[in-house]
Amino acid sequence: MRIQRLGNKKNQTMKNRWVSCLLLISLSVAVSGCALSEQRAHPEFEARVHTVAQPVLIPPDVSMLELLPSGLIRQRDDWSAAGCRNLQNAILNHLKDQKCTLKPLIIDSHMAQEIAEIQALYRLVHKSMQQQTFNAHQDSHARRPFEYSVGSINALLNKLGADSMIFVSGYDRVSNAGRKALIDIAIADASGTILYYSVKGSIQGSDLRDPASANIMVQGLLSGFSRIKG
């Protein structure tokens, strides 16, 4: 399969990340023969989950890609915008049932830089979380406690009127042959500790342009996240 050459470093990085994600899906499906669904939680998740009451959702880093008959991959910004909007609405609705209020994110010129910095930090942590979650050999690195942090985000959360932060990333590739998707979500408390990480993928895929499909994806991603006991 040929992948379209993209003209700048940002798009080149996006292409590389997509290829890596696609390989992860292929590996997981080959091993398990079914859709991918993995969840990880910090060792103190139960004791600290109550601190997640008014989270803010960082703009989802989710791209929808179209695989053309020629084998080239084209990013569809219109599809991506619709998919991100549907994911955000699905997360909002799901958290209501967990007695969480998703805080609106209003970004001005000053706030944009701080958001960009935390997104860059998260991408570094995200790579390590993926390596532990998808370690094919299940060595000592994969079995160690799930402990990751982006550093304290308390000051930023205070400005946003929130107490925790949600990150969403992934891809949804559409072609005539079907869909392949990989979406993950992470929830960090004010200390920056990742309390919960979940990833869901499928060789059938979920059409995130469809609100109902996005709801199903989010329900799967957050099925292990509960602030309500019993």
* Low-confidence winner among 14-23, 55-64, 113-122, 159-168 (lowest mean pLDDT): 14-23
Over residues 53-66, the pLDDT tens digits come to: 999 999 999 988 88
Tokens 């989270």 identify what position?
55
pLDDT for 44-101, tens place per residue? 999 999 999 999 999 999 988 888 888 888 989 999 999 999 999 999 999 988 889 9
**How many angstroms separate the CA atoms of 192 and 203, rounded?**
33
The pTM is what?
0.81
The enclosing H or E element of 179 equals strand 178-189
As to burial, measured by CB atoms within 10 angstroms (0-12 exposed, 13-18 middle, 19+ buried), residue 182 is: buried
Per mean pLDDT, which of 21-30, 92-101, 149-158, 172-181 is the most reliable? 149-158
Ranking 77-86, 121-130, 137-146 by mean pLDDT, the lowest is 137-146
Ordered structural domains, the chain, with CATH:
9-221 (3.40.50)
